[in-house]
Structure 1
Amino acid sequence: MLEDKVIVVTGGAGLIGSRFCQAIVDQGGIAVVADLNLEAAEKTAQTVGGDTRRAIALKLDITDKVSLEAGIATLRDSFGRIDGLINNAYPRNKNYGRRLEEVEYADFCENMSLHLGGYFLTSQVFSAYFAAQKGGAIVNMSSIYGVMAPRFEVYDNTPMTMPVEYAAIKSGVVHLTRYFAQYYKASGVRVNTLSPGGVEDGQAPSFLAAYAQFCGTKGMLDADDLTGGLVFLLSDHARYVTGQNLVIDDGFSL
């Protein structure tokens, strides 16, 4: 479904990003593992693509316009075009994830700037490139907690919480998507959101059980559960889909 499409995945060396890169390669595309950690990106590219050059590493800072423009220039020179961007990076400062009463204003603002601001800047730079190219697809990663209030009860008796910054950021991502989709819809640039439920990553069994009570047959997802929706949004099958938010959560948000 992505035959020879060049797709940039920010945060491509992470848990979800690496699975997205694998899905792109599996569907015949070229995955650009874009990450601030170049060493991790190179390892992921080797794992995903081997010696096929179907996956390449790119050092990229989503909060730095110079880095973004240089990355686009490098890919344009290497491949002649870029077909898609997945805004998947998850930047945050060392104080991210505190309970509401403990969040400092400066930390809240910094995390909003890094994450939502980074998605804005990356979308701004890539959208301009795609518009000049007369085509391209952007998928922004949001979350169920970008479209619903937190279910705090699933965090009872755990050290975890649902960070207030996350809720503000991910809801902002959904509307940022609509803004860019509306602004560029006559330019051949499609912009959509993918909003997953929770992804399993070593959480405590008690949390997984509490979470699963609100779901259908799966509960917490695996990263691979998101790839079908992602591939669709990037593919020509979705050529007339823009400004939409695809929720994949096994019914958690119902």
Structure 2
Amino acid sequence: MFIGKKFLVAGAAGLLGRQLVRHLVENQAQVVAVDIDLEGLQSLYATDAAVTVESLNLNDEQAVIRFFSDRSDLDGAVNCSYPRNSKYGAHFYDVELASFNENVSLHLGASFLFMQQAAAYFERVKTPFSLVNIASIYGVVAPRFDVYEGLKMTMPVEYAAIKSALIHLSKYVVRYVGQSDFRCNVVSPGGLFDHQPEPFLERYQQHSLGKGMLDVKDVLGSIAFLLSDQSQYVNGQNLVVDDGFSL
């Protein structure tokens, strides 16, 4: 499917990123895997000749600029990164303004920089490039707070603000570049299973059409489609993968 293609995956040591790298390699792509956790990358991909690894902090502006400036071999990129501070995840009334601002800066700011430099890369190299951002159903619809009732976990307000902004920012960048060969799309998954409490999983499933929380593998095909030539004129779109949770 991806013979001769090379893709950048940011956040490649994370829950989604590491499975996406494997999926792309299984489909014959070369992958540049970056993450702030270099040791994690090395332990995951040390024996895989199709994967090159590099430490990259997406909040380090000069490092991101250098990274894209030094390359001329990428066909696309996926940003799976999820930067946040130690106070992330607090309930709405407990969120301090400074913490809210920091989380928006860390996540949305880094995503802006990544998109900006991917666009600048395309303008310099002038070869087709597909960028995929990862948003969320909670960037599309209001949270279903009933699934969190009585639990310590919640749907962070920063998350909703960031993911909704990410969807619109993706539309902004493709309009700004204004060329069919530069594509930027979004995948908005439903909740991904990561050993959440059983009451949460049961309530969440009641809002879906049967699947409930998604496995990471359920999202990979949508990302691969947007990277591929099969979606050549799909641009500025948000692909929701949630088994009907947002209906």
Q: Which amino acid aligns with 2:2?
A: L
Aligned residue for 1:189? 182
Find out whether 1:21 has 2:17 as its counterpart.
no
Q: SS of the residue aligned with 1:119?
A: helix
Check whether the contact 1:139–1:191 (CA below 8 A) recurs between aligned residues: yes
Written as runs of structure 1 = structure 2, the 5 A alignment for 1:47-126 is 50-51=47-48, 53-74=49-70, 76=71, 80-126=72-118
Aligned residue for 1:225? 218
Q: Which amino acid aligns with 2:147?
A: V
Pairing partner for 2:168 from 166, 175, 191: 175
> 1:4 Cα deviation (Å)?
2.3
**How big is each residue's C-alpha offset from its partner over 1:108-154, in whole Å with a ceiling of 9 and x where there is no partner?**
00000000010000110111101222221110110000000000000
Whole-angstrom CA distance in 2 between matches of 1:44 and 1:144: 29
Q: SS of the residue aligned with 1:219?
A: coil
Q: SS of the residue aligned with 1:213?
A: helix
Unpaired stretches in structure 2, ≥5 consecutive residues: none
Question: May I ask how many residue pairs the two structures share in their alignment?
Answer: 246
Whole-angstrom CA distance in 1 between matches of 2:29 and 2:237: 23
Q: What TM-score, normalized to structure 1?
A: 0.94
Check whether the contact 1:35–1:41 (CA below 8 A) recurs between aligned residues: yes
Q: Which amino acid aligns with 1:43?
A: S
Q: SS of the residue aligned with 2:207?
A: coil
Aligned residue for 1:130? 122
Whole-angstrom CA distance in 1 between matches of 2:7 and 2:45: 13
Find out whether 1:30 has 2:33 as its counterpart.
no
> 1:251 Cα deviation (Å)?
0.6
> 1:206 Cα deviation (Å)?
1.0
Whole-angstrom CA distance in 1 between matches of 2:4 and 2:155: 39
Check whether the contact 2:69–2:121 (CA below 8 A) recurs between aligned residues: no
Q: Which amino acid aligns with 2:58?
A: I
Whole-angstrom CA distance in 2 between matches of 1:111 and 1:34: 21
Aligned residue for 2:231? 238
- Hey, which bits of structure 1, 4+ residues long, moved more than 3 A? none
Aligned residue for 1:203? 196
Q: SS of the residue aligned with 1:58?
A: strand
Whole-angstrom CA distance in 2 between matches of 1:189 and 1:35: 24
> 1:194 Cα deviation (Å)?
0.5
Whole-angstrom CA distance in 2 between matches of 1:2 and 1:183: 28
Q: What TM-score, normalized to structure 2?
A: 0.96
Whole-angstrom CA distance in 2 between matches of 1:72 and 1:175: 23
Check whether the contact 1:144–1:197 (CA below 8 A) recurs between aligned residues: yes
